[in-house]
A and B are shown apart, each in its own frame.
Chain A
Amino acid sequence: MERYRILPHTADGKFRAFGATREETFANAALATASLMWDWWTIKPLRSIPVTVEGRDLEQLLYKFLEEILYLHETKRFLLGGVEEVKLMEASGGVFRLGAVFWGDEAGGPYEIFGEVKAVTYNEMKIEPGCDGWSIQVVVDM
């Protein structure tokens, strides 16, 4: 299955990510976000960072999950190359929780960074079930 597709957007970055489950789709959305800044498939899996986020709904959960990529890049020089062990839970009180492990490497050396995602946005964000799984649409500020 196609992991994600970059969609045309005049000013910013837009993509649609796919997956059999919500977890897989969230992971592919993370890779799609990374693909706007570096070629994630070239990043060696030398470091792993556990990530946990909480949201009041699935949209906020996704927003915060993708924001982790920007945060880790800017503060730890971490380049995301893979996402594993994604667990999505609906906790009591209508709170959503997501845990995952990011794999990747430190910026520098052979890696080229060609773009900057400034922020995740809610603009045109869609998290939808489909006939063969889930799809997620996101626009990011570039």
Chain B
Amino acid sequence: MELQRIDDNTWEIPKHGEMKVPARIFASRKLLESVRGDSTLEQAENVACLPGIQRMSYVMPDAHQGYGFPIGGVAAFDLEEGIISPGGVGYDINCGVRLLRTDFTEKDVAAKRKELLAEIFKEVPAGVGKGGVTKLSVGVLKEILVKGAQWAVENGYGTADDLRMTEEEGRMKEADGSRVSPRAVERGVPQLGTLGSGNHFIEIQKVDRIFDPETARAFGLDGEGQVLVMIHCGSRGLGHQVASDYIQSMEGAFGVEGLPDRELIHAPIRSAMGREYYRSMCAAVNYAFANRQMIAHWVRDVFKKVLGSSAPMGQIYDVCHNVAKIETHTVGGREKELCVHRKGATRSFGPGRRELPEAYRSVGQPVIIPGSMGTASYLLAGTAEAEALSFSSTAHGAGRIMSRHEAVRRFRGEQIRDDLAKKGIELRSTSWKGVAEEAPAAYKDVDEVVRVSDEVGLGRLVARVVPIGVMKG
């Protein structure tokens, strides 16, 4: 495959064959090596062949092979001639990250760290298939699909300020819960307010290093040592089922013949099927917003109970990293509305975007990039350049380099717990084998991922945070 070097961190696959646009990869030589080791680039080429794609098929620095679209893939489509694809969003619709600030420093919580984690572990249902604490009716669930985090706030989980500090203010207004299948609803009812398993986590973190003090202040960071809480989870079985349902429906409506990969199945955005998927996807996005809103509320309760403080734990921001959205971007010198797919990629709006809350409109959007369990995570700021570079998008995490199977063969969960304890990181989980699967060594170097993001200008470095307590689902 021909790969042209644009600069140290930018590579391009020129348009050839059926490709309607080139594919562009943001990666250092080191990251490019792992990207070339699987079918990421082939998948980026396939995306470049889809009808109505604009500018380029983009690949973020943490990319790896996905289904149909690569994970870390960004593609925007014309609203008239373009398509929408469940495979371009992913199964975990609105998998995302929320970051809360506290007024505590590492010293304030040092003695209570274990207790905090134990209480969070008790209050937030983790693991797989563990029922949520809230018994929901189908009627209430349908309301949540329409109202998202707003429903949670109306029902006592958090404040209106949280909504302002959430993408889409915690509610995608085009959502329609009536087309979400009964099966998806059934999977959603017992799981609302649960973390889920795999790479999902709640971390108590401390600010380790501030790169940009002015922006850090605008984001509500006081200084190094400040305690934060990060929540990483998504739309659970409800979102997975919505994705699966529409892959099947689109197969029925359009057939699978001629697709290089069956998970590239798509529908014209203007078609009834395309619109229906979009609205159902929005409903799943709202479910995930409500989910993180409830979990954040319980975490705050725990802090209040254990540390006896009533200082508000304000929300820095909440980002989605698996989603399709209608956004305005510049193509060929003209502003136009596009359907932007971000699958394992984070929006990184620069200063001035009207979608941002007032507090961030002059500095750019907080971009939250979680590391793997027990390693550093980063807070970045969206840039104006990212608009032209990647439709305002950057990476979403570290990305695996070792299979779960291999990780379980090589590591033991209890050993990882002991190793992390030596570094001052407390760990709780429902399963030690699950911990071994998420061993820090099974992931790419997140430092390299954010360095590339910063150098290219996709999102600039604001702060590095490190965990002091981890609850793995």
Contacts and interface: CB of A to CB of B under 8 A. Distances in A.
Nearest to B403: A8
A92 interface: no
A119 B244 contact: yes
Interface string B222-262: 00000000000000010011011001100110000000011
A35 to B, nearest CB: 10
B198 A123 contact: no
B403 A73 contact: no
Given A10-B402, A73-B129, A115-B197, A123 B261 contact: yes
A37 B68 CA distance: 24
Interface in A104-142: 107, 112-116, 118-123, 125, 139, 141-142
B366 interface: no
A125 to B, nearest CB: 8
A115 B404 CA distance: 10
B67 A139 contact: yes
B399 to A, nearest CB: 7
Contact of B128 (A60, A75, A113, A121): A113
A63 to B, nearest CB: 8
Interface residues of B, number: 51
A56 B129 contact: no
B430 A113 contact: yes
B465 to A, nearest CB: 24
A47 interface: no
Most buried by B among A11, A56, A107: A11
A67 interface: yes
A38 B263 CA distance: 27
Interface string B408-444: 0000000000000000000000111110010000000
Given A10-B400, A119-B244, A120-B244, A113 B129 contact: yes
Interface string B379-405: 000000000000000000001111111
Interface string B173-189: 00000000001001101
B467 interface: no
Interface residues of A, number: 37
B405 A119 contact: no
Contacts of A70: 237, 240
A71 interface: yes
B196 interface: yes
Q: Secondary structure of the A side of the interface? A: loop
A87 interface: no
A13 B404 contact: yes
Interface in A20-62: 36-37, 56, 59-60
A90 interface: no
A86 interface: no
Contacts of B294: none
Contacts of B240: 70, 118-119, 141
B251 A74 contact: no
Nearest to B437: A115
Residue picked from A6, A60, A119, A120, most chain B C-beta under 10 Å: A119
B252 A56 contact: yes
Contacts of A56: 251-252
B101 interface: no
A8 B67 contact: no
B91 interface: yes
B280 to A, nearest CB: 15
Contacts of A6: 405
Contacts of A118: 91-92, 198, 237, 240
Given A114-B434, A139-B67, A60 B248 contact: yes
Interface string B453-473: 000000000000000000001
A6 B405 CA distance: 8
B251 A142 contact: no
Contacts of A64: 248
B261 to A, nearest CB: 7
Nearest to B434: A114
Interface string B60-74: 000011111001000
14 contacts: A6-B405, A56-B252, A70-B240, A75-B186, A75-B187, A113-B128, A113-B197, A114-B432, A114-B437, A116-B197, A118-B240, A119-B91, A123-B263, A141-B91
Interface of A: 6-11, 13, 36-37, 56, 59-60, 63-64, 67, 70-71, 73-75, 77, 107, 112-116, 118-123, 125, 139, 141-142
Given A37-B128, A115-B431, 4 more contacts: A11-B65, A11-B66, A107-B130, A113-B197
